[in-house]
Amino acid sequence: MTTPTIVLKSGRDRSVRRRHPRLFANAIKEVQGRPKDGDVVDVVSNAGEWLARGVINQQSRTAVRLLTWNPNEVVDESLWRRRARAAVQRRLEDPLLAETNARRLIYGESDGMPGVIADQYADCIVIEFGTMLALRWKEALLAELRALLNPRHIVIHGDDERLRYEFGGRLPRWATLALESEPIEQPMVAVREGNLRFWVNVAGGQKTGFYLDQRDNRARVARYCKGAEVLNVFAYTGAFGIYALANGARRVVNVDVSAEALELSKHNVTLNFPNLEPERWEVVCEDAFDNLSARYYNDERYDVVILDPPKFAHHFSQVSRAARAYKEINRLGLLLVKPGGILATFSCTGLVDAKKFQESVLGAALEAEREVQIVERLSQASDHPVSLFFPESDYLKGLICRVLQ
């Protein structure tokens, strides 16, 4: 049977030749054949040169998810399973992951599996689906992960925003059914990172339950926390603060808008430091911007301020607003750092690149009238590898800054 063919407009083949895995609808000149959404299609240049092969979705502006640039490679469920197996094996062999049982097993396009995020938390796997393609081959993925790791539970999440984009604004019934998980009796799973342990809510936490991408950064920031008073903002379940305590922080104040997350942070403290003096771990449930402003006007100052906010922009139209938000939160953070102290600041907004993020921190330093040096640049952990062909996979930026005066 002849594979349907996507013919590109003249001059619109550059991204495909550069192996970018997303082909947008506005680059397509013609669809030859009558493919149904989810079918395999070949992509050719305007002159008819074969370029790539992928899976079509005519409901989305990302019309084709490209999967291979090898004309002899068959795109089917067996390819999906092979890529899942290879991705898991890479994590199991990664020396940087040897001391943890919480790791990202599959990272979407970076592992050749668009729309799949799979995270392991001890004997539980949490999978987040974000594309029609991923949902179509869900069962093949689940079978492969069960065969490889024999997990006690597999919990399924849907990336609602991406899936609505995939299906033209509304999920069909089959997709909704595909996102249903089997019941899990105990949604809390204890995981370890080196000598530290953390409770993870695999059923209802942010992302898949824990910020695995910050694993290495937690340890690097903690090195500046010995004997320090630490303000941990957007604390979530307190992981940065736990690392700070483990490295000898005198006191950690955790600020987050989620009371549930802060309650879990208390359990994490008990898990790691059962005899910790209560005054060394404080939680405050409040909006971060409001809380930092109030602390500044109350003349509070800290040796280390950690800012790890959520994504501030989901679309290009929100980038300017996000840059302003980064400048404001960093301005407030810088005002609270003692002279000679440390600001550790992060952005997980992929649409705000490292240059723009640094410019926001520069603007914050100017407005706060603080003299600031960058002493370390941070990125995402090794189980979140960056594909050279998919720069969007490089999303986490971090700066450790010394505030001189």
Q: What's phi and psi for 57, nearest 5 deg?
A: -145, 100
End-to-end CA distance of the chain: 71
* Number of helices and strands in the chain (H, E): 12, 19
Question: How open is the CA angle 383-385-388, to the nearest 5 degrees?
Answer: 170
Indicate which residues carry an active-site annotation. Answer: 348
8 A C-beta contact, residue 269 and residue 245: yes
8 A C-beta contact, residue 195 and residue 246: yes
Query: Cα dist. 183→13, 116, 147, 187, 378 in Å?
Result: 46, 21, 20, 9, 38
Listed residue (91, 100, 130) closest to 210, CA to CA: 100
The structure tokens listed for 60 are 């989305």
Question: How open is the CA angle 58-63-67, to the nearest 5 degrees?
Answer: 125
Listed residue (15, 16, 10, 5) closest to 47, CA to CA: 10
